Each structure stands twice: as C-alpha cells, then as structure tokens.
Structure 1
Amino acid sequence: MAHLIITGGSSGIGLEVARIYLAKGYRVSLMARRADILQDAREELLKANTATQDAILLVTVDVCNETEMRAAVIAAEAAHGPCDVLVTSAGRVEPQFFDAQSSDIFDAQLAVNFFGTVYAVRAVLAGMRQRRGGRIMLISSGAALIGIPAYSAYCASKSALTGFAEALRLEAQSYGVSVSICYPPDTLTPQYEREIGLRPPAAQVLMGAVRPWKPQAVAQLLVDGTERGKRQVHFGLTLKLLSCFSAFIKPVMFWRLARLTP
C-alpha cells in the first residue's frame, strides 16, 4: 500500500485529505500536536471509511521542532513504509495589526507555516530522492497572493512558501519528485471559526470577495492537483485571476479598500 503523511491532519482540510486518500487504499499517518484531537480524527475517519484501524497511524509532533519532525517521519515510515505523498497542512493564523501583535505570536505563525513545512519536507525528501519518486503538496493560502491588513505574519509566511516551492521543484524534478503548492480560500474549518471573530473590517473588505469553501471541496481539488503533479492549484476564478494578473488587480482592490475603510 502507498503511504501518505500529512501534517495538521487532525481537522479541517488535512482531515478531509486523509479521508480521500484512505478511500484510495492508502495507509495514512496523521501528525499534529494534540493527541486527543488526533484520536477524535481517527474515530471520525473509521466511521466514514472502510479502512481498518491499522491503516491510520497517529503521531503527536510539534512541526516547529526539526528533531521531533524527523523522529515522527522515521516512526511513520517504520510502521507504514516509505512516504509516497507528503501534504503539509499544519498552519496557524492569528489576525492582529502588526504594531499591536507581540513578537512571540508573530514569530509563532512563521514557525508553523513556513519552518513547519520546511522541516516536514526535509524529513521525507532524502528517502524520496533515493527511491526516485514521490509527491509533495505544500498548502499555502489565498493570503499569499495579496497583502491583507492584520495578516502581516500570515501573509509573509504563506508567501514564503511560494519561493520555497518553486526552488525545490526545480531541484527535485531531476530525481522524479513532484512539488506542488496550493492557495486555498477561506475554508469552513475550526481554525476559520476561531479566526473570523478576530478579523477586522479592513481585512474583510479584501477577503470577503471570495465566499468560504467547504473543506471537502478544497481537499478534492488539492488531491487531484497532487496526483497530477500540478505546479500550482487555485480555487475559483477570483483567486486564479489574482495569481495570474496581480499587477493589474491589486491596485483596484487596494483603491477599493481605501474608499471603504476609515
């Protein structure tokens, strides 16, 4: 059986990605910080799939700790075999204006969103290179495509993934490993429910242009893009146009923001 490793797989988009790959017959290793939420995720997956309990491995790990991340992947591969697909879904967002946000909270978002992804990739890449095959999907955000008030840390961390993905793709293609990146919109997840209560009106002017998606729909497009080895996966026409024509679209959006906010 093929083996999927997914960070941040205990809820939201990550959980739905795990559900799809289990239905495909994969063994799945779910990685997250909290053991209790991981246990709940496994129970939910077992109810909805024909997968056996042995097909789902739970690994408690702090993705911001490279040593822990490496040990987590070693344990997962010992149980389920070499990693065939990595999806980096672990993320953190805490909207607050830059001059009001503490350095600790700002830095923590960069640590999870960027370095947590880097450490996961580093932990699986050597094995993929040796086997000359594998697929990696990095989950960025639509917030990587445009600066958003109160999201300076989140935008910076998710934008950094674009450069990382592009450089890594050029390196990895020579040994048969595909590297993809996707830019989901607002998605109806537990994290979104926490975030939306903190979002200021200035941010909503920009982000409210795209209605929130269901996590199942985001996960399906993400999985399709991963399996096809697509360089980038976008969600809906608005974000696709923003990605391709940002130099023309951003000035209009910023002009609108200036008119609609004090």
Structure 2
Amino acid sequence: MHVIVTGGSSGIGLEVARIYACRGARVSIIARTAAMLESAVVDLRSTGKADIRCENADVANDSEISRAVDACEAAFGPCDVLVASAGMVEPAFFDQQSQSDFSRQIDVNLLGTANAVRSVYAGMKIRGQGAIMIVSSGAALIGIPGYTAYCASKSALTGFAEALQAESVGDGVTISLCFPPDTETPQFERELAKRPAQARALMGAAPPWKANAVAEKIVRGIDRRSKKVYFGFSITGLGLFGPLVKPFVAAWFSRRR
C-alpha cells in the first residue's frame, strides 16, 4: 500500500504517516519546508520502516503538487490512500486582515486540497480503487469570530467533498471528510497566541486533542470507508444537528457580548 500525506512534516499529518508506517505501508509525505520534511523522515524511519520518502511542494501551487505526487508514485507505485492534511490558519478580524493573508488561507486550505486530490483522483478512477481523506476542521461547522477566511475555506471543503462523493459513485474511490477539533500541533500554538477573546468564548475551554489521537480516528475512518468523521460531543452535535443547534449558540453568544 502506498499512502501519500500532504502536510506530513508535522502535527496531524505526521501522526497519520506514522500510523501507516507502523503498518508497513510505503509512505510519502509532502510539505513546504524542506528542513521539517527531512526531520520528519528521520523520525518516521526510527519506527524501523525504510519505505519513507518526502517531496517538497506548496499544495497551493498545482504544478508543484502534481510534480511531487508524480515523483512519489514513480518511487512507490500508484497512490492507494491520500490524506489531504496540509492547511493553515491566520486568525484576525475580517476588517483587520490583509487581502493576502485572507487569500492565502483560501489558496492553501481549499484550492490546495483540490490540487492534491486532482493529482491522484484520475489514476484511482482508472484503477477502480483508492481512498481520499480530506482534513477539514470543526471550524467548518460554525462561524467563529476572527476566523472568516479559515471558516470559509474549511466549510467549502464540505461542498467539494460531497460533490466529489456523488461524482465518484461506482468508481471504486472513497471520498471521506473529517472535522478535527483543536489539536496540539506547532501551528495550534502559533494560532492560539492570536485567537481573539470572542473566539475563545465561543469555542469554550475544552482542552485540545493530542495529534496522535486525532490521527488514529482519521485512519479508522479511512479503514471503515466513512463518509464523514466527527470528533467529540460538540463537533458531532454541530455536524449532525447544526441547523437546529446554531440558533441557540448564536443567541447564547450574543448575550455574552
């Protein structure tokens, strides 16, 4: 089995790669920062598995991610599982955020995911098998102050995934979508320092999940061919009963302001 993980140099992506490496899969990780990629490969090979490789690419650049996937498949064979985990967040109120910071989140989180999926999807259809897991966020399920770009980019992945699920019926390709909660990653530490007080109030004081726990649930979802994977009571409630729940959340939040 050949597993490709974007955003695989740290956080959730690295832990997903570790699980598959421990299972004996051939694992390719793709990310932007060469030094972090090389460190991640050393880390993953410490599991005793040698079939680990990396490629440097920005998922927002379609030609870069296409080249990287081609190189991975040339080395390890066709992609059997893609975990599109690469993403970014830059909290700021809409009227205080630069256009470039807003657009960059859309480019990486939405278009970057689509670029990664595009790079493997046609081949999976031809072979009649494959699994794609799109990593969204709990923030896709409700609007959060200070996260206009992030919520927009992550919620758009729901429409993308659901449409692709409909298109792939009968093709042997499983399209899955997951909604992780706050997770202990290097990116989360940077984000937390910029998180507005209003967002903290809405999101509550629930402790972040460990990255390996999130990764385990993601991989179980892939194993089970689950269409959607939710995490914890709050996110599951929003995912299943959002239209009923969100008016009450909005009313509660408005009274706190």
On whether the aligned pair clears a TM of 0.5, the verdict is yes
Residue aligning to 1:161: 157
Residue aligning to 1:20: 19
Residue aligning to 1:57: 53
Structure 1, unmatched stretches of 5+, are none
Whether the 8 Å contact between 1:210 and 1:238 is mirrored in structure 2 is no
**What pairs with 1:102-251 in structure 2 (closer than 5 Å)?**
102-208=98-204, 210-251=206-247
Residue aligning to 1:85: 81
Pairwise CA distance, 1:209: 5.1
Pairwise CA distance, 1:243: 1.0
Pairwise CA distance, 1:246: 1.2
Rounded Cα–Cα distance in structure 2 between residues aligned with 1:62 and 1:151: 22
User: Which of 218-227 and 251-260 deviates more?
Assistant: 251-260
Structure 2, unmatched stretches of 5+, are none
Pairwise CA distance, 1:208: 2.3
Report the 3-state secondary structure (helix = DSSP H, G, I; strand = E; otherwise coil) of the residue aligned with 1:173: coil
The superposition leaves residues 167-222 of structure 1 with CA deviations (integer Å, 9 ceiling, x where unpaired) of 10111122100000000000000010000000011001122254310011100000
Rounded Cα–Cα distance in structure 2 between residues aligned with 1:174 and 1:112: 30
Rounded Cα–Cα distance in structure 1 between residues aligned with 2:205 and 2:110: 26
Amino acid of the structure 2 residue aligned with 1:131: R
Report the 3-state secondary structure (helix = DSSP H, G, I; strand = E; otherwise coil) of the residue aligned with 1:129: helix
Pairwise CA distance, 1:248: 2.1
Aligned length: 257
Report the 3-state secondary structure (helix = DSSP H, G, I; strand = E; otherwise coil) of the residue aligned with 1:247: helix
Report the 3-state secondary structure (helix = DSSP H, G, I; strand = E; otherwise coil) of the residue aligned with 1:21: helix
TM-score by length of 2: 0.98
Q: Percent same amino acid among aligned pairs? A: 54
The superposition leaves residues 21-55 of structure 1 with CA deviations (integer Å, 9 ceiling, x where unpaired) of 011111011000010000111122122x1202xx1
Whether the 8 Å contact between 1:185 and 1:210 is mirrored in structure 2 is no
Alignment root-mean-square deviation, CA: 0.9
Whether the 8 Å contact between 1:137 and 1:226 is mirrored in structure 2 is yes
